[in-house]
Amino acid sequence: MIDQARTVRLNVGNLPQTGPNQLFEITLEPATGSPTGRPTGPVLMKGTTSTAL
């Protein structure tokens, strides 16, 4: 969980390997977590991966 008033840097080394244009979405979930184990809340942000130059 991320406090809404904070900026957080995520370590992408902890994520599975991604492919070109991998889609990521940030959703708003209940404080207790998703009841289904999958995203249930509205999408707040989304974007795709790109190659660093």
Please tell me the distance from the alpha carbon of residue 50 to that of residue 1, in angstroms, as a whole number.
25
- The pLDDT tens digits of the residues spanning 23-44 come to 988 899 888 888 898 999 999 9
**Mean of the per-residue pLDDT values of the chain:** 83
Closest CA to 50 of 23, 14, 11: 23
Q: Three-state DSSP class for 31? A: coil
Give the pLDDT band (50/70/90) at residue 14. confident
